Amino acid sequence: MELRPAGSARPPLDAVLDAMRVVAIPTRTRFRGVTVREAALFDAPLGASEFSPFPEYGDAEAAAWLAAALDFGWREQPALRRERIAVNATVPAVPAAAVPGILARFPGCRTAKVKVAERGQTLAEDAARVGAVRAALGPDALIRIDANGGWTVAEALAALEALAPVGLDYAEQPCADVPGLAAVRLGLRARGIPVRIAADESVRKAEDPLAVARAGAADLLVVKAQPLGGIGRALGIVAEAGLPVVVSSALDTSVGIAMGLRLAAALPDGALAGACGLGTAALLAGDVVADPLLPVDGAIAVRRPALDPERLERHRARPEREAWWRERVRRAYARLPA
């Protein structure tokens, strides 16, 4: 997997480590098991950049995230095609009663992505949560669900048949692998259930991110700049896949969100499949910039805020966690192409 744009040189490791700060920011609500989001931030020559693979990710996978951070902080980026990006609300796997409070953090958003298939929860709880979103947003809003690969094919078909009457824009990663996605997509068609399939993990965590498109296993792709190795590489994948896309984040700080916004703003006309999942800084109980990238009237302006020293210090990680992240950067850096 080529992680470095052709013709570019990466910065020396010492310069990367000198520019690095590590933060730990609590989440407002438990999100995929995360209650504190850790991230490494770089005060880089071309602007702040972020390296924030989740702690359980291995070094090979983390190397792609580091390639993206170095690309965004030390290299010029593609030209912008748009100045504002429509975003969706993101609803964690909360009780239905908590849904209105979550949606209030995403003012003006008319699309919502709802987490389902959370370990330890039931389909009835998923249905109540999705129903609460529909009740809060009304009949004209778009609702997406995201299972994060948590269902088998049989479970996915049963769940989507049960949830479809609420009205779903698409189901994101209902099964973990490409054959499962293909089987669910065919099964939905056979049952006459008009729910599209979106692939996320089957793109960003795959050795071959184009396999899902070649297999006809998805109707659209969810792409994230960090795990795909940077904006340029993500744009190349989108071009080769030939499918519409939604740009999303991975519970990033506003610095990582800025990278995602830049990717969404650089996509060719017609490539975006609706609102993007880039409003997730609203799920954090703090940030590292003075002017966070949060939704206003359902969209976020494409900009790149600077790191705020006071907020970096306020959310500074414990010394042992900072040491852990610095060692992780060293290992990931060693895996980048020479």
Return the active site residues. 115, 224
Q: Give the position of tokens 């992240």.
A: 325
Distance CA 88, CA 108 (A): 9
- How many CA atoms does the CB half-sphere of 78 hold within 13 Å? 22
Distance CA 163, CA 181 (A): 17
Distance CA 49, CA 218 (A): 31
Alpha helices in 118-177 (DSSP H): 123-137, 153-163
Q: Say whether 56 counts as a known binding-site residue.
A: no
Helix (H) or strand (E) holding 37: strand 34-44
Distance CA 233, CA 229 (A): 6
User: What's the burial of 318, exposed, middle or buried (CB within 10 Å: 0-12/13-18/19+)?
Assistant: exposed
Task: Note whether 160 and 151 are within 8 A (CB).
Answer: no
Q: Say whether 71 counts as a known binding-site residue.
A: no
For residue 87, which amino acid is it? V
Task: Note whether 94 and 29 are within 8 A (CB).
Answer: yes
Q: Say whether 146 counts as a known binding-site residue.
A: yes
- How many CA atoms does the CB half-sphere of 292 hold within 13 Å? 17
Can you give the length of the chain in residues?
338
Token pair of 261 as six digits: 């916004």
Strands 20-31 and 196-199, bridge-based pairing: unpaired
Token pair of 165 as six digits: 């009457």
Q: What are phi and psi of 272, to 5 degrees?
A: -75, 135
Three-state SS letters, 163-209:
HHHHCCCEEECCCCCHHHHHHHHHHHHHHCCCCEEEECHHHHCCCCC
Give the annotated binding-site residues: 146, 172, 200
Give the annotated binding-site residues for Mg(2+): 146, 172, 200
